[in-house]
Amino acid sequence: MMAIVGFEFTKINVKRQEVAQGKINISNTVGIVDIKRNDIVAGKNTQNGIKFVFDYKSLYEPNFAKIELEGTILYLTDEKNAKEILDSWEKDKRVSKDIAEKIINTILTRCNIQSIILSNTVNLPPPVPMPKVNIAAGPAQPAGQAAKPAEKPAEKAPKAEKKDKQESLKK
């Protein structure tokens, strides 16, 4: 069994200066800063756990604001895998690609959401790009009705001809 079973923030910090000067550049970084053994005892059973300590930063440059998040992820695995993870970390501060992807994607998912909430709280632009909607120009829709996607008449004609050919072959 290899699964992420816990996630917690241990530090949440957001700081904004009074006035932004010129263009603001936002950079985000995430990293695993430590890995520790953290077995879980449930009754008479002990499960092999690894605690990943991480940090996440969003910097608004030049020196306008920053969001700092730190926390831990608890990862359960078997004894052999736990030993490999810890040995690799102690030797050269590295984690295997498949485990690193799973851990870092979890960190990014949780931290991106938290950093968007924090940026909104202190009136900063979001540190990650937000989805945008582009509505094609056309007749106005009454409120409450969904706009239909624009259709190209040229695309409809060949389909109709193809259908007519299929109908004539059936006869």
> According to the model, what pLDDT value does residue 171 have?
44
> According to the model, what pLDDT value does residue 108 have?
95
DSSP code per residue over 69-137 = EEEEEEEEE-HHHHHHHHHHHHHHS---HHHHHHHHHHHHHHHHHHHHHHHHHTT---SSPPP---PPS
pLDDT tens track for 26-56? 999 999 999 999 988 888 888 889 999 999 9
Per-residue pLDDT for 16 more than 80?
yes
Per-residue pLDDT for 100 more than 50?
yes
> According to the model, what pLDDT value does residue 40 have?
85
Per-residue pLDDT for 64 more than 80?
yes
pLDDT tens track for 136-160? 876 666 666 655 555 554 544 444 4
